[in-house]
Chains A and B, each alone.
Chain A
């Protein structure tokens, strides 16, 4: 739901609240803002996947002697790995690339996020090509994470469980 309003609408009230709470120029402030904006999106994406899992699978788990939590741990979560991996990657990307909040809240160059830091280099002394190189380097971590996560993004993990 938070993505139905432009982020700039949120920045202004958050700016004044965080200023009063002393959270404005801190990483803790961003640590609060980023989950608050991304968790709803993540839940929204995951609930569709959880609902799509055949209920018989969980019932089979109950019949096999698991309790409610056992079913979630041993059946629902393993089957949801691809969805969990892609949602995690997506949410990480949102936070990693986030610029607006970092730009508005952070003043101290010592705690700049990477996106914010690259922009800070934009001045007459730093050559353009170095700036572009910075932007490219900023994408590398995401690339690495994606390559590692790819193993979880197997297609059709639930294939063959129900029906013929």
Chain B
């Protein structure tokens, strides 16, 4: 079991309100990821759930029990810290078993549980070492092991992979996904990494300045962002956005060019289009025309940055290796099925 409910949770440090009324329900066994720009309150929200910070207002309910004022020890949650936070004076075995020792579990039972977790995380050979004799990836594994051994109601992760190098991060990401499937446990995970959020989450919570902007499945947020902030935050490279005005049978841009879009809402003030939904086209078929500014070859993809006079810079993502020349004119055609329109208040308009 591990159902977590936040009801109008607020947190202020002194006079500064950091969490401004958050309502959220996390279902049992769900993998929920908090994303948002740095300083938006992701860690604070996680620490409020853990009990390391006390909410200024609102209620936190775990499995139907109000735990708002209770210390971390009574919440039965495990936390994996970004900096690992292993006890340096204890061996790996003692680190992993510490919570059980505190809970006065019989020694044999502790050893059995630690061995089982060590088996899952391939830590058997390291059990008698101290943390300082471990590599970064091994320390992260021990930190996760310490969380597993307790069989908590839910796991809380605060950017657990951000201190690892790129290759190890991919490996650990897969391992966390497997772990979630295997343990069938509730997980709440903070990251600013797009790929981690999109691949791991059942549900993504996008935060900005202490408020929830949108909650939904990764693909829903990608396909149907509720507002301009979410549209630009989810997806990499980020969505192109340009000012526009409704016109006869479509939209008009600031440079005088227009595109046909009969269904366009008359309230549309901004158009958003992802880099993968733009194609290069001959001038007569294109919606806007500009000049190629920069070309980035990634091998698997080619990013073309096209400067459209008075409208802005568009990023175009082409699959594979495409030969092109910087400085040449280019026509852009927007995929009609993937156009996002936003009103003057930056809210998304129904397509």
Contact = CB atoms under 8 A, between A and B. Distances in A.
A71 to B, nearest CB: 10
A163 interface: yes
A91 B102 CA distance: 34
Contacts, number: 90
A54 B85 contact: yes
A27 B146 CA distance: 52
Interface in A133-164: 156-164
Interface residues of A, number: 26
Interface of B: 50-52, 71-73, 77-79, 81, 83-89, 98-99, 102-103, 130-137, 139-140, 146, 150, 163-164
Contacts of A162: 81, 83-86
Nearest to B164: A164
A74 B102 CA distance: 10
Contacts of A61: 87
Nearest to A75: B87
Contacts of A54: 83, 85
Contacts of A125: none
20 contacts: A60-B87, A61-B87, A62-B51, A62-B72, A63-B52, A63-B78, A65-B102, A66-B73, A70-B102, A75-B87, A160-B86, A160-B130, A160-B139, A161-B84, A161-B86, A161-B132, A163-B83, A163-B84, A164-B136, A164-B139
B85 A79 contact: no
Contact of A60 (B51, B85, B136, B139): B85
Contact of B88 (A65, A66, A160): A160
A108 interface: no
Interface in A67-110: 67, 70, 74-75, 78-79
A59 to B, nearest CB: 5
A57 interface: yes
Interface string A28-69: 000000000000000000000000001011011111111100
A151 to B, nearest CB: 14
Nearest to B130: A160
Given A62-B73, A64-B98, A160 B52 contact: no
A161 B133 CA distance: 10
B71 A67 contact: yes
B344 to A, nearest CB: 45
Contacts of A157: 88-89
A127 B332 CA distance: 105
Contacts of B52: 59, 62-63
B83 to A, nearest CB: 4
B323 to A, nearest CB: 41
Contacts of B164: 164
A62 B83 contact: no
Contacts of B87: 57, 60-61, 75, 161
Nearest to A70: B102
A59 B139 contact: no
Contacts of A75: 87
A161 B87 CA distance: 6
B53 to A, nearest CB: 10
Nearest to B158: A56
Contacts of B89: 78-79, 157
Contacts of B79: 59-60, 63
